[in-house]
Amino acid sequence: QVQSVEFGGGLVQPGGSLRLSCAASGFSSADYTLGWFRQAPGKEREAVSCISRKDNTTSYGDFVKDRFTVSSDNAKNTLYLQLNSLKPEDTAVYYCAAGSFCLEVYTDFYYDMEYWGKGTLVTVSS
């Protein structure tokens, strides 16, 4: 069964940190472009970060501004997202995904992701 499950969400104060994990099963993460996306209440889903399967290059949404770091451990079939200097506007459900491509063109992301996790809620509040 193909499945991606996110872990690590929770409540954190502004300025705090969290580490999200995404464990994949049923497919090899090394064969796919991987990404993190988020959706805040009342807003559209947006790309947070992607790792290319071709050359492991990473890309980040403009709002990240060096606060988040994406990484993957193909041996563990796991994707990570380190969130630092969190702001209330980072509050959202964070999803991991795997697919054929995720490209950043100027400030826009174009992606085709096949497998999606169910998401983990990150709440940034004092």
Three-class secondary structure assignment of the chain? CCEEEEECCEEECCCCCEEEEEEEECCCHHHCEEEEEEECCCCCCEEEEEECCCCCCEEECCCCCCCEEEEEECCCCEEEEEECCCCHHHCEEEEEEEEEEEEEECCEEEEEEEEECCCEEEEECC
Q: How many C-beta neighbours within 10 Å does residue 7 have?
A: 15
Give the end-to-end CA distance of the chain in Å, rounded to a whole number. 39
Residue bearing the bigger pLDDT, 75 or 17: 17
Q: Measure the CA–CA gap between 3 and 77, rounded to whole angstroms.
A: 11
Q: What is the pLDDT of residue 30?
A: 78
Q: What is the pLDDT of residue 31?
A: 83
User: Do 117 and 22 form a contact (C-beta atoms < 8 A)?
Assistant: yes
Q: What is the pLDDT of residue 41?
A: 92
Encoding tokens for residue 26? 């049923």
Average pLDDT value for residue range 94-112: 91
Q: What is the pLDDT of residue 8?
A: 87
